[in-house]
A and B are shown apart, each in its own frame.
Chain A
Amino acid sequence: SAVISQKPSRDICQRGTSLTIQCQVDSQVTMMFWYRQQPGQSLTLIATANQGSEATYESGFVIDKFPISRPNLTFSTLTVSNMSPEDSSIYLCSVESWTGVAYTFGSGTRLTVV
């Protein structure tokens, strides 16, 4: 399956600032997915990022708050903008596995906003 390098692994940020999370995949993939996992909860899809087009956001998530870039088939970034303590969470990127369905995840970014 694909190997995903996600960074930073963790960060502590001041409210009102922004953080950009990067994911690099070792192979070309059509779609990349960004998830959020709040403490004690399961994963919630933020958006789907396709190369060459705007990301598709899920209900409750907007581009101004979570801008996404997808400059090529192996890389994507998610920015958490104007952060508040409610944004404290784990953010994960993922791609489809080589089998075409099941997803492989990056190691996650643990964000704490103070």
Chain B
Amino acid sequence: RKEVEQDPGPFNVPEGATVAFNCTYSNSASQSFFWYRQDCRKEPKLLMSVYSSGNEDGRFTAQLNRASQYISLLIRDSKLSDSATYLCVVYNNNDMRFGAGTRLTVKP
């Protein structure tokens, strides 16, 4: 079993749609959780941290369920500029583990 597993995608959605990505992790001792965004041929960039209470940043909402070892990212009112690969990232004791990423394409 992979340490971090994500929806394989790709997700192709129209502008304005709501899309959700899921991620599960295997290490129950994991301490911190993140969503990164990676544009084509670019480096990954932090999108947002994920907190146990859930957190929102504009159109983006992240949720964490420690009991189920599950993380989600919800994007509302999708924009063309949201097209990218979204990486689920799990951190434990100086060890950062990346999911394989979910590719999102938002179409006009």
Contact = CB atoms under 8 A, between A and B. Distances in A.
29 contacts: A31-B94, A41-B100, A42-B98, A42-B99, A42-B101, A43-B44, A43-B87, A43-B98, A45-B95, A48-B94, A92-B43, A92-B44, A97-B46, A101-B49, A101-B91, A102-B32, A102-B34, A102-B46, A102-B49, A102-B91, A103-B96, A104-B46, A105-B43, A105-B44, A105-B45, A106-B43, A107-B42, A108-B42, A110-B41
Contacts of B32: 101-102
Interface residues of B, number: 18
Interface of A: 31, 33, 41-45, 48, 92, 97, 101-108, 110
Contacts of A48: 94
A41 B2 CA distance: 13
B42 A33 contact: no
A97 B89 CA distance: 14
Interface string B90-106: 01001110111100000
